[in-house]
Structure 1
Amino acid sequence: MMKNRVFVYWLSVVFIACMFFAAVPIQAQEPFRGTQLALRGLNADDEETAADDATPQSPQTKAIETKKNNLPQNPRPEANEPKKDSAPQSLEQEVKELKEEVQRIRSENEARKRLEVPEEEKSKSVEDILSAVGNQYTLLKKGTIGLQYGFNYSYYSGDVINEATRVERRSNHNLTNIITGQYALLNNLTMSASVPFAYKYNLVGTSSSQESTDLGDISLGLTMQPLKSGASLPPIIFSLGVSLPTGTSPYSVNPLHSLASGSGLYTFSGGLSVSKVIDPLVAFGNLTYNYSLPASGLSQRWGTSDTLTKVEPGNSIGMALGFGYALSYQASLNLSAQLSYSFNSRYTLNETSSYESGSSLASTFNVGTGWRITPTRSIYVSLGIGLTINDPDLSLSFTVPFEF
Structure 2
Amino acid sequence: MNRWVMRVFILFSVTGLLPTMALSQEGNVDEAREALARQEGDEDSAKQLEEVFQAAENNYSLQKKGTHALNYSFNYTYMGDQRLDAEIRDGSIRQLDITPTATHNFTNSFSYDYGLLDNLTVGARFPLVVKYDTQDELSLYDVGDVSATARWQPFPYVPGKMSTTLFGSFSSKTGVSPYEIDIDEQLSSGSGYYGISGGVSLSKVLDPVVIFGSASLSYNFDATDLDQVRGGRRLVEVSPGFGLSGSGGFAYSLSYDISLSISGQISYNDETVLTFADDSQAVAQDQMTGFLNMSLGTRLSDTTIVNTSLGIGLTEDAPDFSLGVSMPIEFSGLKE
Task: Bin the TM-score by the shorter chain.
Answer: 0.7 to 0.9
Name which of 208, 215, 219 aligns with 2:147.
219
Match of 1:130 in 2: 14
Alignment gaps of 5+ in structure 1: 1-115
Q: 2: CA distance between counterparts of 1:137 and 1:322?
A: 15
Counterpart mapping for 1:29-108 below 5 A: none
- Displacement of 1:129 after TM fit? 2.8
Q: What is the alpha-carbon root mean square deviation over aligned residues? A: 1.5
Contact conserved, 1:310 with 1:351, CA < 8 A, in 2?
Answer: no
Name which of 266, 271, 288 aligns with 1:339.
266
Give the TM-score of the pair, scaled to structure 1: 0.68
Higher helix share: 1
Higher strand share: 2
Q: The residue matched to 1:296 in structure 2 has which SS? A: coil
Q: The residue matched to 2:316 in structure 1 has which SS? A: coil
Change over 3 Å in CA distance of 1:219–1:351 after alignment to 2: farther
Counterpart mapping for 1:93-172 below 5 A: 116-117=1-2, 119=4, 121-134=5-18, 135=56, 136-162=59-85, 164=87, 165-172=96-103
Deviation readout 1:333-386 (Å, 9 max, x if unpaired):
000000001111111011511132111011100000100112221211010000
Match of 1:60 in 2: none
Q: The residue matched to 2:63 in structure 1 has which SS? A: coil
Name which of 181, 185, 188 aligns with 2:116.
185
Q: 1: CA distance between counterparts of 2:101 and 2:309?
A: 25
Bigger radius of gyration, 1 or 2?
Answer: 1
Counterpart mapping for 1:2-401 below 5 A: 116-117=1-2, 119=4, 121-134=5-18, 135=56, 136-162=59-85, 164=87, 165-204=96-135, 208-230=136-158, 233-304=161-232, 306-401=233-328
- Displacement of 1:162 after TM fit? 3.0
- Displacement of 1:232 after TM fit? 6.5
Alignment gaps of 5+ in structure 2: 19-55, 88-95
Q: The residue matched to 2:134 in structure 1 has which SS? A: strand
Letter in 2 for 1:184: G
Match of 1:43 in 2: none
Contact conserved, 2:249 with 2:261, CA < 8 A, in 1?
Answer: yes
Change over 3 Å in CA distance of 1:351–1:141 after alignment to 2: farther
Deviation readout 1:251-304 (Å, 9 max, x if unpaired):
001111110000011000001000001222100000011100001110110133
Q: Identity rate of aligned residues, in percent?
A: 34
Q: The residue matched to 2:6 in structure 1 has which SS? A: helix
Contact conserved, 1:346 with 1:356, CA < 8 A, in 2?
Answer: yes
Q: 2: CA distance between counterparts of 1:329 and 1:231?
A: 19
- Displacement of 1:124 after TM fit? 2.5
Q: 2: CA distance between counterparts of 1:222 and 1:375?
A: 26
Deviation readout 1:189-211 (Å, 9 max, x if unpaired):
1011000000000112xxx3211
Higher relative contact order (CA 8 A, sep 6+): 2
Give the TM-score of the pair, scaled to structure 2: 0.81
Number of corresponding residues: 284
Letter in 1 for 2:78: Y
- Displacement of 1:228 after TM fit? 2.2
Q: The residue matched to 1:295 in structure 2 has which SS? A: coil
